A and B are shown apart, each in its own frame.
Chain A
Amino acid sequence: MHAILESEPRAADPQKTKKMINLVPVAISWGVLLAIYVGLRLYQQAFAFKYGLDSTSPEFATYWLTLFKVEVPLIFGVGFAIWAYLWLTRDKNLDKIDAETELRRYFSLVAWFLLYTFSFLWIASFFGESDASWHQTVIRDTALTPSHIVVFYACIPLYIILGVSSLLYATTRIPKFSKGYSVPLIMAVLGPGLILPNLGYNEWGHAFWLTEEIFSHPLHWGFPVLGWTGFALGGVLLQATMRMAELFKEIDGANLAKA
């Protein structure tokens, strides 16, 4: 767990050029996420049309409500544990870290973003459009469809966990992000996160306004507008670039002095 949360490689011989990032934890995390997503998709293949079309049937309760009741606390439970870990192990001596450590932490932040953006892909593209194939095919009788239980209540919590973790990692490990709230970082984490509460509007609209499903309907525009906050990762990249360029100089300067 520690390796996943802190993906910086351990410092070995300081004379050698060290690897800036250890991608093994990222690969493992991708593997776990991939297993979850593929598992959920296979589960849909097996049970979505079979038991997921009538929300009052006992089979629906067994196969779909159970999944819903398990996944939400499980994902948020693991998430809270990760957040707590990141906060409790925060670096209180950020003023004293050297340039190379700080640089390495930027790479670790990048590792977090590798997970965050990977997890966002599954809802925004893979399961997102898949939800359209569900709505266009069947008659909606609940907000908790087999499609929604996966796309909204598994995929969204997963990327919220990873987004907030990225934010927490930056805040608790990297001086710049600890001294000031990064506006683009907060936007890039908070915006997609708000898609979850936006579901309230969506489901309200479908309960009282719209029985038919047009994906491009204004009722759905909250999702893409909040998705636009993803553009703000450009700002985060700029913040990282600005600081890393300084760190590069410092490291090079120190090396020159050593030489």
Chain B
Amino acid sequence: MSKILKKATLLVLAATTLLFSLMDQAAFAHGERATEPYIRTRTVHWYDVTWSTDALNVNDTVTVQGKFHLLNDWPDSVSLPNLVFLSNGSPGAVMTRVESYINEIPARQSTKGLIIGRDYDFKLVMKARKVGQWHLHPVMNIHGAGAVVGPGEWITVSGNEADFKDPLTTLTGNKIDDLQTFGVSRVQMWQFGFGLIAAVWILWWLRRPLIISRWLVVQKGRENLLITPMDDKVAAGLLVLLAMVVLVGYTRTTSEFPELVPLQSGSLSAPPLPKPPHAVEVKFKRAEYDVPGRSMRLSVEMTNTSDQPVSVGEFTTANLRFINKSLPAAVAAVSSKFPKELVPRNGLVIDNPEPLAPGESRLVNLDTTDAAWEVERLVSFLSNVDSRMGGLLFFYDGKGNRSMSEVYGPIVPVFKKTI
């Protein structure tokens, strides 16, 4: 039997060593694809997101900013954005948050009353803390629904972690050297002190004959042997000691810090941005996901309500940007620094590339074929109880002006092309 145990132990050790040796330094995704596709395609749509840099030293900051649109076709099972918190996705506190805003309103607290169908801008300033390569996403936490993760960019942090400091000066003028360590030694010193007294108390009792002997004595009704007059004195003394320590400690603390405030709570309102230009009415006709072809095809009726001819430039959903490569304005709208994996290579293919004339109505078929649908785990349309999709269409006129329209509707999985 012991041989088997030995062998098993060796096997586990060997397997562990093998796994460790397989370890490489490549970077991997970290849960941004965790959310169900119908949430990612029909709630918060991030756009115009930029990162001020993709490489920085410890203590340097990076600013992530952009806009988000809340889709009208908000799913039933997702709580409305009545209370949200702008955050960031990262594996632990590898970067610290310096500032964050929704429509220039500070977002240290949660924000209330976001309106579906409207747009907001956001800004996140993050400071590098831990050395490594970190994927930095904006995240919108919706109360009751969880996180909707925005596009992520890999940020390389170099330098010396030991240099990281986060100093702060309080309103009473006290200077805090570093928030990472602030107050910790004071907590530890006091708790260690209390712990020491507690340990002495426990040992005071444990040094005597304990379990069976004491039980037998209890059975014989000789409790006077178990709790002696000396124990009474020690207990009374300890009570007095504790009372004194707490009383003196508390009084001194309140005089040391006369100005203290409670935790700050309460949510802030952020009015939406003015409605963006809206040049095209989009009427959803049909959407299908071609399973073997990894292609999402969309059939919509577009009506140009502006006075300029417009062309479809981009379809964006779940942080993926399908760009109409035949339209220079749309191509130019994608910064060279934007994460490549979020801009599918095949882009957006339109069956009729002619611009839509003012007042014209036309049925247009849009094709977005890319492995990204699977890579991003967006194909579980098939396993959802609410198989609908949504996204934003961006249009450009001849002068390069951009307008935006929502598109959403049911999606049908197909195994051969029908539109």
A and B touching (Cβ–Cβ under 8 A): yes
Q: Is A219 an interface residue (CB 8 A)?
A: no
Given contacts A46-B20, A62-B22, contact A53 B2 (CB under 8 A): no
Q: When A56-B377, A241-B211, A241-B215 are in contact, do A78 and B31 touch as well, CB less than 8 Å?
A: no
Contact A141/B29 with A1-B1, A53-B91, A63-B19 known, Cβ cut-off 8 Å: no
Q: Which residue of A lies closest to B142 (CB)?
A: A211
Does A10 have its Cβ within 8 Å of any Cβ on chain B?
no
Q: Interface-forming stretch among B143-151, B192-200, B319-327, B391-399?
A: B143-151
> Are B34 and A139 touching (Cβ within 8 A)?
yes
Mark contacts of A67-91 with chain B using CB atoms, 8 A cut-off: 1 yes-contact digit, 0 otherwise: 0001000100010010001000000
Instruction: Assess whether A49 is interfacial by the CB under 8 Å rule.
Output: yes
Using Cβ atoms and an 8 Å threshold, which residues of chain B touch A244?
Answer: 212
Do B31 and A46 touch across chains, with their CB atoms under 8 A apart?
Answer: no
A139 near B31: Cβ-Cβ < 8 Å: yes
Q: Report how far A24 CA is from B327 CA in the complex, Å.
A: 78
| CB contact between A49 and one of B8, B9, B19, B92 (< 8 Å): that residue | B92
Q: Report if B5 contacts A (CB, 8 A).
A: yes
Q: A56 to B23, Cβ gap below 8 A? A: no
Contact A43 B16 (CB under 8 A): yes
B28 & A138 in contact (Cβ 8 Å cutoff): no
| Any A CB within 8 A of the CB of B89 | yes
Interface residue A95 (Cβ < 8 Å from any Cβ of B) = no
Complex formed: what's the CA distance from A238 to B377 in Å? Answer: 57
Assess whether A1 is in contact with B2, with CB atoms less than 8 Å apart. yes
A35 and B377 alpha carbons, distance in the complex (Å): 38
A138 CB contact (under 8 Å) in B1, B22, B30, B212: B30
Interface residue A59 (Cβ < 8 Å from any Cβ of B): yes
Q: Bound state CA distance, A138 and B94, in angstroms? A: 12
Contact between B33 and A54, CB atoms less than 8 A apart: yes
Does A15 sit within 8 A of B, measured CB to CB? Answer: no
Give the distance to chain B from A240, nearest Cβ to Cβ, in Å.
9
Which residue in A1, A35, A55, A139 is a CB contact (below 8 Å) of B146? A139
Chain B proximity mask over A45-61: 1 for CB below 8 Å, otherwise 0: 01101110111110100
Residue A17 interfacial (CB < 8 Å):
no
* Central interface residue in A56, A70, A211, A212, by most chain B CB within 10 Å: A211
| B35 at interface, CB cutoff 8 A | yes
* Residues on B with beta carbons closer than 8 Å to the beta carbon of A212: 141, 143-144, 146
Given A1-B2, A141-B33, A241-B212: A51 and B28 interface contact (C-beta under 8 Å): yes
Closest residue of A by beta carbon distance from B374: A56
Residues of B with C-beta under 8 A to A59: 28
Residues of A within 8 A of B4 (CB): 1, 81
Interface size on B, residues (CB 8 A): 36
Q: Give complex CA distance A114, B32 in Å.
A: 43
Whether B15 sits at the interface, judged by CB under 8 Å, is yes
Other-chain contact of B31, A32, A47, A66, A138 (Cβ < 8 Å): A138
Whether B30 contacts A56 by the Cβ 8 Å rule is no
A62–B26 CA distance with the chains assembled, in angstroms: 15
Q: Write out the residue numbers on chain A whose beta carbons fall within 8 Å of the beta carbon of B33.
A: 54, 56, 141
Query: Is B206 an interface residue when CB atoms closer than 8 A count as contact?
Result: no
Interface contact B34-A140, CB-CB below 8 Å = yes
Measured between beta carbons, the chain A residues less than 8 angstroms from B32 are 54, 139
CB proximity of A126 to chain B, nearest CB, Å = 18
Expressed in whole angstroms, the minimum distance between the Cβ of B18 and any Cβ of chain A is 10
Q: Are A139 and B89 in contact (CB under 8 A)?
A: yes
Nearest B residue to A209 via CB reads B144
Q: Are the C-beta atoms of A54 and B20 separated by less than 8 Å?
A: no
Interface flag for A16 (CB, 8 Å)? no
Q: CA A116 – CA B16 in complex, angstroms?
A: 26
A-B contact pairs, 21 of them (CB 8 A): A1-B4, A1-B5, A46-B23, A53-B29, A53-B31, A54-B31, A57-B29, A59-B28, A70-B12, A74-B12, A78-B5, A81-B1, A81-B4, A138-B91, A139-B34, A139-B146, A139-B147, A139-B149, A211-B144, A211-B145, A245-B215
Q: A57-B29, A70-B12, A141-B31 are in contact. List 18 more A-B contacts (CB 8 A).
A: A39-B12, A47-B19, A47-B23, A51-B28, A54-B30, A54-B31, A62-B22, A70-B15, A78-B5, A85-B1, A138-B91, A139-B34, A141-B33, A212-B141, A241-B215, A242-B215, A245-B212, A245-B215
